[in-house]
Structure 1
Amino acid sequence: MKKSLTQRVTLSVIGILVALVFFFPTYWMFTTSLKTPGDVLSPKYDLIPTSATLSNFASALTKPGFVTYLGNSLIVTLGAVIAALVVGVLAAIPLARFRFRGRKGFLLLILMAQLAPLSALFIPMYLLMRDLGLLNTLPSLLLVYFATSLPFTVWMLYGFVNGIPYDLEEAAMIDGCSRTGAFRRVTLPLLGPGLVTTSVFSFITAWNEFLFALVFMRDQSKQTLPVWLSSFRTAFSVDWGGVMAASVVYAIPALVFFLIVQRKLVSGMTAGAVKG
């Protein structure tokens, strides 16, 4: 049913207003990062800064440990995302293609693990890493991020594999492909949107995690960027300009990753619906 001009204008205005509400905190963070210390603490709410400075970015980027924390964050985040994707694909395909006893129960367990709050897993994870001797090591964070993102990855990829007709693989095998070759040539390319979608959500979850990185990593040289952001607060004051500038720098990797894969992300969210 075609909408009238009034309906289209109304929906457009509502959409713009909602977008502005979500965009405003980011805009405020960026403009504050460009203000001088006096302007940051001023009681005036200047939506457009009267003066701009890059000193906050200079102090943030030259703060001790930034490069080390950045490297640690990239290692544990990318490592967890790649491991979750590999294991997720290997788990989602048999769950979607094969019918075996206990399959529905296993899917229910995956859903329950996905819905479990991360804070509830903190003490068991800590005790496990302590017994394994992995505390204060980057592999402990990588394993935690991998474990927390795996249920979501398996559940999402299960829906994407379900949406790919098995007839396509059978046609490829009739044409001479082996089962592995049919998966590699037919199913895997069609899983592209699903892999992109799950990788984005897993990346954001691991990139923003703070509590495990703070407690597990006692050595400052092994901590991550979220912990680095908390270093701008001292017992006497908070460097708000530095915090905002550091937050802008901190958001850049996730923003760049999202912009690169945004087209695949939209198509992937549509293609991954599970049919009842």
Structure 2
Amino acid sequence: MSVATRAPQTRAAETASVDSRHVTPGRRHSPTRRLKHAWSSTLWGTVSIIVFVCSVFPVYWMLNTSFKPNADVISPTPQWWPENFTLRNYVTVLFEPARPDRANFPSAFMMSLAVTGLTLLICLLFAFIGAIAVSRFKFRGRRQYIIALLVIQMIPGEALMFTIFGMVDSWRLLNTVIGLTIVYLAGVLPFTIWMLRGFVAGVPADLEEAAMIDGCTRTQAFWKVTFPLLAPGLISTGVFAFIQAWNEFLMALIIMQGPGAYTLPIWLRAFQQATQSTNWAAIMAGSTLLALPVVIFFLFVQGRMTGGLVAGAVKG
């Protein structure tokens, strides 16, 4: 190797050595600072574990109780693990025959699935259009419309239940899927628009303009560039809309009065009241089955939420 080739390498090595001598001491932390950082990390880690345990323990206790005989549930000595493991509670919930005064689990499950699915599809469609209109277009009354969305969220549903019942009754939609879906849409849609509005506002409009410069029409630019970036937001808002519609109790109790029109929360209440002595083990089994679709739905869309984020980042 020639001297001319070695000289730049030598100078580069000397410069790196000098930079390391100047930079390394500045990165060192005093023992007191390191100890303080370690105590802070330990404290926040402990708090996180406590919050996690407090959040998960009720779910664990529900599952634990659902696999016990009812005699073990009402025992004064708590059992942290089902010693007498049984599936009888789930058999009782799933295959108990329907009665004139209350529906069975499969009928209530299909009713909840129909109402929630219809609510979710219509809500995402209208919320998507409304969020784009609020975020991308300037029109008269836009500010008042946004404020109205917030005000609607502040009104408790209990204050409107008699008015809602009168309207649905006048439309002859009591005990129908359409009637309960309309009520759910009125309650879920404002929150969904407000939440989705933040995702739409976070996507720069310059991306569509750049795609239009490359030869795309406005519609093509929206579907090829903007929509993939909004897919994670649609999934996130869809999860919240699904949970709200699936677990709603009050409006379903008022509107769905016949046993054949019960949703799952109403069925669980009727199941508890129908037993002479409360079968807590079977009630916990029913509660587990009630919560299971929400968990499955979230696990199903979680991967697509992450995949949408990655795909949107690559396309952007």
For normalisation by structure 1, the TM-score amounts to 0.91
Q: How does 1:144-183 map to 2 (within 5 A)?
A: 144-183=183-222
1:239 maps to which of 271, 279, 283: 279
- Report deviation, 1:265: 5.7
Higher relative contact order (CA 8 A, sep 6+): 1
Indicate yes or no: 2:289 matched with 1:249: yes
Maintained 8 Å contact 1:88/1:157: yes
Residue 162 (structure 2) pairs with residue 129 (structure 1):
no
The Cα shift of 1:10 comes to: 2.2
Q: Tell me which residue corresponds to 1:219.
A: 258
Partner SS, residue 126 of structure 2:
helix
Distance 1:149 1:266, change over 3 A: farther
Say whether residues 1:196 and 2:235 are aligned partners: yes
Please tell me the residue identity of whatever aligns with 1:122: M
After TM superposition, the structure 1 stretch with the greater mean CA deviation from structure 2, 88-97 or 43-52, is: 43-52
Cα gap change, 1:264 to 1:16, in 2 (>3 Å) = farther
Deviation at 1:267, TM superposition (A): 9.9
TM-superposition CA deviations, 1:180-199 (whole Å, max 9, x none): 22111111111111111111
Distance across 2 between alignment mates of 1:173 and 1:123: 51
CA contact (8 A) 2:231 2:305 kept: no
Superposition pairs for residues 1-276 of structure 1, below 5 Å?
Answer: 4-63=37-96, 64=98, 65-234=104-273, 236-262=276-302
Q: For 2:67, give the aligned amino acid.
A: L
Q: Which runs of 5+ in 2 are unaligned?
A: 1-32, 99-103, 310-316
Amino acid at match of 1:148: G
Q: How far is 1:264 from its partner?
A: 5.9
CA shift for structure 1 position 252 = 0.6
Structure 1 107/264 Cα, relative in aligned 2: closer, same or farther at 3 Å? farther
Higher mean displacement: 199-208 or 116-125: 116-125
Q: Secondary structure at the match of 2:147?
A: helix
Shift of 1:60: 0.8
Say if 1:265 and 1:184 are closer, same or farther in 2 by CA, change over 3 A: closer
Query: What is the CA–CA distance in structure 1 between the aligned matches of 2:133 and 2:261, rounded to whole Å?
Result: 38
Change (3 A) 1:234 1:98: closer
- Greater shift, 163-172 or 209-218, is seen at 209-218
Q: Do the aligned partners of residues 143 and 84 (structure 1) sit closer, same or farther apart at CA in structure 2, a change above 3 Å counting?
A: same
Change (3 A) 1:136 1:232: closer
Counterpart amino acid of 2:110? G
Which is greater in Rg?
A: 2
Deviation at 1:234, TM superposition (A): 3.2
The equivalent residue for 2:5 is: none
SS of aligned partner of 2:79: coil
Secondary structure of 1:232's aligned partner = helix
| Deviation readout 1:143-164 (Å, 9 max, x if unpaired) | 1111111001111111111100
Give the Cα–Cα distance (whole angstroms) in 1 for the partners of residues 270 and 63 of structure 2. 19
Q: Is the 8 A contact 1:232 1:239 kept in 2?
A: no
Identify if the C-alpha distance between structure 1 residues 125 and 265 changes in structure 2 by more than 3 Å, giving closer, same or farther.
Answer: farther
- Paired residues in the alignment total 269
SS of 1:44 mapped into structure 2: coil
Point out where structure 1 has 5 or more consecutive residues left out of the alignment.
270-276
- Assess, with a 3 A threshold, how the Cα gap between structure 1 residues 18 and 268 changes in structure 2: closer, same or farther: farther
CA RMSD of aligned residues (A): 2.1
CA distance in 2, matches of 1:265, 1:10: 32
Q: Which residue identity is paired with 1:127?
A: G
